[in-house]
Amino acid sequence: MSSFDHNPIVAMQGIEKHFGPVIALNGVSFDVRPGECHCLLGDNGAGKSTFIKTMSGVHKPTRGEILFEGKRMDFASPRDAMEAGIATVYQDLAMIPLMSVTRNFWMGREPVRRVGPFNFIDFNHANDVTMEEMRKMGINLRSPDQAVGTLSGGERQTVAIARAVHFGAKVLILDEPTSALGVRQTANVLSTIDKVRKTGIGIVFITHNVRHAMAVGDRFTVLNRGKTLGTAQSGQITPEELQDLMAGGQEMVELEGSLCGTV
């Protein structure tokens, strides 16, 4: 666990999200602290996507509250959440493959230099910053003009993470960042997560892969059918126990018990 402040950066308290008669989140409480990787695990349909969108300002909760640095927040949009310091790296990464790494890195926030009455994008500065930020994450680009589409999946994930860190993220939500990667690329992304955590940024690592979560997680919360089934610290729970919780292990035990009772 980190030596940073243990007060949560973001705390979701008793969050419910209803879509008409459908209850997608049913009393979820979750927080993330500076310098920690808090893993949220759940199978498909557990409510992970709704959780991400509620924390990042896409959805407004039906009930409950979100506290940011101790103050109640009412995000009207993802932009509000981003300006507060909550950045989300989605699975699709929101990148344009044929554009350079630099253009993808800055994406609408390009540095400008003024020449007389005109403003021009300062490509030299943008390129230098991009190369340096990627170097910090352990990736040495051939050139800042390299097309993002020529990078591996893990390297593209790292561009997206480096971009969020550079633009001031205090909390980084990572949506299944290792789900489509091979072993080596997964190891690179997990290493990047570890580097980012050590800078004091709080990381919410959404995954259904217990092994990947155990590799970098400080705390683990399991989401099942829109409810959290409790939170465990690293070292307090085995991979097998986590997997059982994700798969509704307790429900299976109760079902087996009731079936045995009827035999």
Q: What is the pLDDT of residues 94-136, one digit of tens each?
A: 789 999 999 999 988 888 888 888 888 889 999 999 999 999 9
> What number of residues does the chain have?
263
Task: Name beta bridge partners: 66.
Answer: 12, 73
Provide the 8-state DSSP code for 149. Answer: G
Give the helix/strand (H/E) hosting 30: strand 22-32
Task: Give the distance from CA 250 to its chain's centroid.
Answer: 27
Domains of the chain, by residue range, sit at 10-94+168-262
| CATH number corresponding to 10-94+168-262 | 3.40.50.300
Res 258: pLDDT: 62
Specify the pTM. Answer: 0.88
Give the span between the Cα atoms of 107 and 150, in whole angstroms. 18
Give the span between the Cα atoms of 39 and 217, in whole angstroms. 6
Give the span between the Cα atoms of 243 and 245, in whole angstroms. 5
Res 111: pLDDT: 86
Res 119: pLDDT: 87
Give the residues of the chain that fall short of pLDDT 70: 1-5, 249-263
Res 263: pLDDT: 47
Buried b / exposed e along 202-234 (16+ C-beta atoms within 10 A): bbbbbbbbbebbbbbbbbbbbbbbbebbebbeb
Res 115: pLDDT: 85
List the structure tokens of 82: 């981003």
